[in-house]
Each structure stands twice: as structure tokens, then as C-alpha cells.
Chain A
Amino acid sequence: MSLDKHGIAKRIAQEVQEGYYVNLGIGIPTLVANYIPEGMNVVLQSENGLLGMGPFPTEEEVDPDLINAGKQTVTTLPGSALFSSAESFAMIRGEHVHLTILGAMEVSERGDIANWKIPGKMVKGMGGAMDLVASAKNIIVAMQHTSKDGQSKLLKNCSLPITGLQCVKKIVTDLAVLEVTAEGFRLLERAPGVTVEQIQAATEGKLIVEGEIPEITV
């Protein structure tokens, strides 16, 4: 059975380690925050100028001057810090953020990512995605393995406009966990009940399968 978006978020949460500063993108990546183990010291960075992002506020705590990069109302935590957008991207560009988790429309076997523009559709802008992927030390992508009509999104070459080159390190999809290597996508784990053959069929880029591939446990 393939993973739903919560399953993908839970699996990615296993990649988060004690002491990490983490930037979470919009969509499935935002859900990862819900599955970070209780008691683990992890600081969430929101690129509009907040380190130490807390949970959504209660109705009484809502403050229009305190939002995250998705424009959702949030809270601070003991130890939080607030700063400007220039300072925020200094943290990102300067590689002070340990882990970036974001969504993608396509990833290539070299780790190129496309997630900001579909030709012919309204272009909303890249926001902070290009800055994040160009500088993050460790990028994990949360995505669906194929499009709704079954086309692979793990490709030899991205067909959509690129957000960044050779930057993705790991991918968690509804079907599998993969590592981007110099040789291609290395299959690390498969979703419960999903076969290597099914993953192979859903992957256009080069898939490397070595030995027994364990099932994802979440």
C-alpha cells in the first residue's frame, strides 16, 4: 500500500536529528513538524524571519504580526528569535540551516529539482525555493512518485523549468525512499506491499537496486 501524505511526512520526520535547524516548505513538508519525536530538540526556521516556530495559536493567541512563510498564523516558543528577510537568507545561504524539506513537481537522477513553474500556467513565483535549494547542505524532497495520469516524476532530465541543479539528496514518495547518487536513484526502502518492480515501472530515471529492499516503517 502506498503512503499517504501523512505517511510521507512521518517517514521524513525520521531523518530529523537532535540539534537540527530545519526549514520546512509548504504542503507535505509542513506536516513533518507534527511527527518530530517528543523531546527532540529541533528548531524550525521560517524564511520570513522566525527561528523557533511554534504551533498554530489558540483563538486568543492569534497575532497578525506573527505568521510563517505560508502566511499562516503561528506562535513563538521560549528561545525563539525574530529577524529580517536579509538575515533569514543569510542563515540559509551561509549553510547554517541543517536540513531543508520541500515539495517538487520533478526530480532528475542527478538531483536537479523543478518545483516553481509550469509553462502555460500562471507563474506565481519561486519565493525562497531557489535560495533554499542552492545553499542547503541537505535537501529532502517530499513528492508523489507519478503524476495523476501515471507519468513518472523521477526523471532522467527535468522537463519543467529548473529550480536548482544537483541539489536533492533524498526523496520520499508515496512508493519509496530513494537516495540521489552520482549513478542515479538508489532505492533504499519501499512502501508496505509495493514491489521493486512497481517502483521500477514508476521511475523513468536510472534506478539502482542492490540486495533486499526493506519496507518503510512509520
Chain B
Amino acid sequence: MINKVVQDAASACQDIPDGATLMLGGFGLCGIPENSIQEILRKGIKNLTCISNNAGVDDFGIGLMLQQRQVKKMISSYVGENAEFERQLLSGELEVELIPQGTLAERIRAGGAGIPAFFTPAGYGTEVGEGKESRAFHGKMYLMETWLKADFALVKAWKGDTAGNLIYKGTARNFNPMMATAGRITIAEVEELVPEGELDPNQIHTPGIYVQRIFQGKDYEKRIEQRTVRQAEPASS
């Protein structure tokens, strides 16, 4: 198989230029590419367009890139957890495009699957539909939405092999599989990098064809936004 392994986040992200369009996997802070984000912060890459469901929180994830004014434009579905985001948006420093979550997911999927446009009912009759083509199918109105692609897709998986095959865990999967398909260069960071042959081909979520670079990630914080717990039931006597 083709070996996709690179040394670390620094080698994986070495050619991301100022002004690049990035996709960053994750839902909230769950399943975000922590190592690649750290590298972008270290390098200080600027004028980025970031496609990501959320924009992190003030002191973690994409929020850190906003703090350093590295983001020119955010394309997201929900950005409510971030005060610096709000400040930059209101002051006009940051451009924002809000997209219904399912439409965002499908636009990315379409980008990876070679489908330039599709029709969805989400947003018809709302400001999301302004300026877009709409059409009736079987008596219901739909909006035309177009594909999204990126120069670099930064994804995070649980396990990956040297051939670039990926397996995600829990709800950390979210946007990562579609983004992996829609990057011109897809960079995957994984918690556990194994030799080819060690992952069961039946269990692969993202086939290696979509991944150009893979590296062993380190020091995952996996910050929790809303830690909600219940009391453990008392042990039965």
C-alpha cells in the first residue's frame, strides 16, 4: 500500500499557506484536530477561511486561532460559545457565513463525491434561501446548494494505519469523514497509528484513498464543554 505517514503535525502542515481554505473536523470540541490546530497557531498562518461546524471556545480549538486573528472567514452552522468571535464579528474584522448544519454536512459530502449541487428543503423561505435557486419537487419547495471543497482538510480519528485508513470513535466522528473526502490535501491525525494490516478492513470508516498525510497525534486534551453526570446507583447489597 502507499505509505501516507509523516513525522508530525509540523511536517503535515508545512505547506499550508496564508489565505488557504481549511476544513476542520469536530462538533463542538469533540473530534477536533488538536495537533494540527496547535501547529497552525505556532506558525501563525493568516487570512484563513475555516469551514467547521463550530468555532471552538475562547481558549480552545479554533477559538485560539481567532484570538491570534488568523481567521478571515468562518463558514459554520453554530458559533455561540465564543466571546472573541462575537467581538470580531461585530467589529467587522471577521466574515461569517452561517449554514444549516445538515446542508453544511451535505455540501462537504458533495464536494468530496463530485456532485456540484443538490436540492434540500432546509432554509427555504428563510434568509438562507435569499439569492438561491429554488424549485418544486412533488409539491414541496427546495433550495439549490453547491458543493464545498478545501485546500486542506484537517481531520482527527481514533485509529489509523500507514495506508491512511481511519476509524473514528463515538460522536467524535461527526464532520470528519466528509471533510476527509473534500480536501485537496487531507491531513489526518490519529490517537493510535498502526501498521497496515492491523485494522479490520470491515471496520474502516474513511478509506485511505482520501488521506494524503497521516501522523501519530500527541497530548490530546479532549476538553469537555458541558460535563453532565448522574449519580451512580448505589451498589446492590
Contacts and interface: CB of A to CB of B under 8 A. Distances in A.
Contacts of B14: none
Given A49-B171, A62-B227, A65-B169, A128 B178 contact: no
Interface string B76-117: 111111000010011000000010111111101100000000
A84 interface: yes
Interface string A114-131: 000000001111111111
B230 interface: yes
Interface stretch (B23-31, B39-47, B63-71, B209-217): B23-31
A55 interface: yes
A62 B229 contact: yes
Contacts of B77: 125-128
Interface in B144-197: 158, 169-178
Contacts, number: 172
Chain A, interface residues (CB within 8 Å), range: 35 or more
A92 interface: yes
Main secondary structure of the interface of B (DSSP, over half): loop
Given A122-B89, A125-B79, A64 B229 contact: no
Given A67-B171, A123-B98, A56 B229 contact: yes
A85 B174 contact: yes
9 contacts: A49-B27, A72-B226, A73-B226, A82-B170, A88-B102, A89-B105, A122-B80, A125-B79, A126-B128
- Ordered nearest first, which 3 A-B pairs have the shortest CB separation? A89-B102, A124-B80, A131-B102
Interface of A: 46-50, 55-60, 62-74, 82-86, 88-89, 92-93, 112, 122-131, 134-135, 161-165
Interface of B: 27-31, 53, 76-81, 86, 89-90, 98, 100-106, 108-109, 120-128, 158, 169-178, 205, 222-232
